[in-house]
Amino acid sequence: MESPVRKILVYIDGSEESVTAAQYAVVLAKTLRAELTAIYVINTRALDDLVKSRIFLTSEQEEYAHDIEKDAERYLNHVKNLAAQKGVTLRPVKKRGTPFLEIKSEIEAWGVDLFVIGEISKIRSRRDEFFNETERAMRNVRCSVLMVKDEEHVWKIYDEFA
């Protein structure tokens, strides 16, 4: 029987939780012989909002956009290396826009079976359901979603995985 999971997408947002999710996704991809993609979305919507609300100056918007571009490259390279260490090829994807919309679009365009995310906040507020990009993505995508928890356990699995 063919594996029910052939294409995995993991969301990287620069948080430690998202890197842990990538490690778990690497192990899953190799075990299931699935293709693996990591996506980082440069949140240009948030940058625009900050200028509109006058928290940011235009020069600051440009500076932060540049910084986030570098962060995206760095984190995507990092998870690509994590995958390579386990003999897994990871396709890095960098996009710009509203994260949950870009994730949804990538999932539909690439036919993703499983979307992997890092653990989200334990302390909840109603606001998070609307504004947390990971949560918005989780609620809006069509495919199944796996939230990776217990980072120490995941690190152990990753380290011991051949």
List residues near other proteins by CB under 8 A.
Answer: 13-15, 42-43, 45-47, 49-50, 53-57, 59-60, 64, 67-68, 71-72, 74, 120-121, 123-128, 131-133
Q: What does the alpha-carbon distance between residue 13 and residue 116 come to, in Å, rounded to a whole number?
A: 12
CB of 37 to other proteins, least distance (A): 19
CB of 146 to other proteins, least distance (A): 20
* Nearer CB in complex with other proteins: 23/132: 132
CB of 10 to other proteins, least distance (A): 16
* Nearer CB in complex with other proteins: 71/86: 71
Q: Are strands 90-97 and 114-118 parallel, antiparallel or unpaired?
A: unpaired
Q: What does the alpha-carbon distance between residue 69 and residue 94 come to, in Å, rounded to a whole number?
A: 9
CB of 14 to other proteins, least distance (A): 4
Q: What does the alpha-carbon distance between residue 107 and residue 7 come to, in Å, rounded to a whole number?
A: 9
* Nearer CB in complex with other proteins: 64/161: 64
